Amino acid sequence: MTGAGQVMVASQVAKTYGSGDGAVNALRGVSAAFVRGEFTAIMGPSGSGKSTFMHCLAGLDVVTSGTIRVGETDLTQLSRTRLTELRRDRMGFVFQSFNLLPMLTAEENIRLTGRLAGRDVEPGWFDTIVDALGLRGRLSHRPSEMSGGQQQRVAVARALLTRPEVLFADEPTGNLDSNSSAEVLSFLRAAVDDYQQTVVMVTHDPAAAAYADRVLFLADGMIVDELAGPTIDAVHARMRKIEG
């Protein structure tokens, strides 16, 4: 079981790609708990295992050993079908590359995941997030008619529409300028503060990590440091220490 307030608990997660001489130990016993209404950033040098860890947490990659519990469920024990359902029903995703469907309008893109999940969206919730993200005037636009920042705000709205237990964001500001980045990150912060959303974000950017409540630092497939209440300077300092 997960403990009080914990929505996700990873225990001793290991991931090895390949075998024999070519084997890569991408994760070597990573344990971490994620509580409701907390914003966690995951940082670390290139190749330290950040994406692998997030993909394992999200059930997008299969662990070699260890457990990952979402509520009462150990997702490492689920069949592919059940895992797909769990992702669809209980997780949200935002990617660096927005991943919107080009033929659909902003509104259709936002409503798509809810429709796939067969969920009734709470009355008013669609309007709340559309207004909070400043998308009211863009709802009939297709992705090609929107800026990168607008597209990412649509992707965030889509991910939040079903009120997922965990929102995963993989370098969400990697393709955005600093103003658009700040808008997206401020909204993620507000979703945590105002709606108790749980957010797990992989980033290279100390300024992005500073929006989080805590930063987990990975190096060589292990969590080597953790920083609560991060500031940009403190994140830089920890990264310098890790990178030696």
Ligand X SMILES: Nc1ncnc2c1ncn2[C@@H]1O[C@H](COP(=O)(O)OP(=O)(O)OP(=O)(O)O)[C@@H](O)[C@H]1O
Q: Which residues bind ligand X (CB under 6 A)?
A: 17-18, 24, 26, 44, 46-52
Taking the least distance from each CB to ligand X, the nearer of 161 and 227 is: 227
Q: How far is the CB of 181 from ligand X (least distance, A)?
A: 17
Instruction: Please tell me the distance from the alpha carbon of residue 27 to that of residue 242, in angstroms, as a whole number.
Output: 17
Is 91 within 8 Å of 83 (Cβ atoms)?
no
Sheet holding 6-17, edge to edge: 24-35, 6-17, 65-70, 73-74
Q: How far is the CB of 235 from ligand X (least distance, A)?
A: 15
What are 207's two structure tokens?
């300024």
φ/ψ (deg, to 5) at 78: -85, 150
Q: How far is the CB of 23 from ligand X (least distance, A)?
A: 9
What are 126's two structure tokens?
């669609």
Taking the least distance from each CB to ligand X, the nearer of 89 and 220 is: 220
* b/e per residue 99-135 (b: at least 16 CB within 10 A): ebeeeebbbbbbbebbeebeeebeeeebeebbebbeb
Taking the least distance from each CB to ligand X, the nearer of 2 and 96 is: 96
Instruction: Please tell me the distance from the alpha carbon of residue 156 to that of residue 198, in angstroms, as a whole number.
Output: 13
- The SS3 of residue 203 is coil
Taking the least distance from each CB to ligand X, the nearer of 51 and 128 is: 51
For 30, 119, 148, the CA distances from 99, given in Å and listed in that order, are: 29, 21, 11
Taking the least distance from each CB to ligand X, the nearer of 14 and 117 is: 14
- The SS3 of residue 50 is helix
Q: How far is the CB of 72 from ligand X (least distance, A)?
A: 28
Is 192 within 8 Å of 37 (Cβ atoms)?
yes
Q: How far is the CB of 52 from ligand X (least distance, A)?
A: 3
Q: How far is the CB of 187 from ligand X (least distance, A)?
A: 24
Taking the least distance from each CB to ligand X, the nearer of 46 and 81 is: 46
